[in-house]
Amino acid sequence: MKIGYARCSTDEQDLTAQIEALTRLGIGADYLYTDAGYTGTNRDRPGLREALAAASRPGDELVVTKLDRLARSVPDARDIVKGLTDKGVKLRIGESVHDPDDPTGRLLFNALAMVAEFEADLIRARTREGMAVAKAKGRLKGKKPKLPPGQEGRLVELYRTGDHTVGELAQDFGVSRATVYRAVERASDRTMAAS
């Protein structure tokens, strides 16, 4: 039996191309598992868990369009393949079936896994770089406060009187206790900056 697996890193990305490719490789809709919004570095993916559980009998094939859809790190890729091999399940990457007993096949598999991991590292580096540039330009400011400035000011005033607990303020303003603490902290930061 052929079991297909497709993954994309964000909910905005589309799995259509992978699903069509897996269908062309002979995967039926009932045996197609997907994850949207999960990175390849995250091993705890519901679709992957289901696909690995479905590919459980000797002779089954787990099919992915590219190795980086399965894993974005060399250790994860190796662990997944070892688990499949121990069950007698083959891994098909596109048109090629991975043979763990073939030295050339193992070399190519490890090279593909290293490229997938390298790509994940590049993505993380570019993201950090972009966030640093945005922060330097003042564009990275974090989440907007839950309360409008006037309400937040009133909340801080009430907090400073000492007549209300954080829990009471949170309930009265319809926010979490953490929001109350953040509002008080922001007000303190503004007071310190003004001095």
Do 40 and 71 touch, CB atoms closer than 8 A? yes
Q: Which two tokens stand for residue 122?
A: 């590049």
C-alpha distances in Å from residue 164, one per residue of 104, 151, 170, 183, 187: 71, 16, 10, 15, 17
3-state secondary structure of 182: helix
- Active-site choice (9, 56, 176, 188): 9
Catalytic residue status for 9: yes
The answer to whether the beta carbons of residues 70 and 42 sit under 8 Å apart is no
Q: What is the rounded distance in angstroms from the CA atom of residue 187 to the CA atom of residue 156?
A: 7
Please answer whether residues 4 and 63 qualify as being in contact, where contact means their C-beta atoms are separated by less than 8 angstroms.
yes
CB atoms within 10 A of CB 162: 7
Contact present, 48 and 42 (Cβ < 8 Å): no
Tokens of 152: 């937040």
Please give the positions annotated as active site: 9
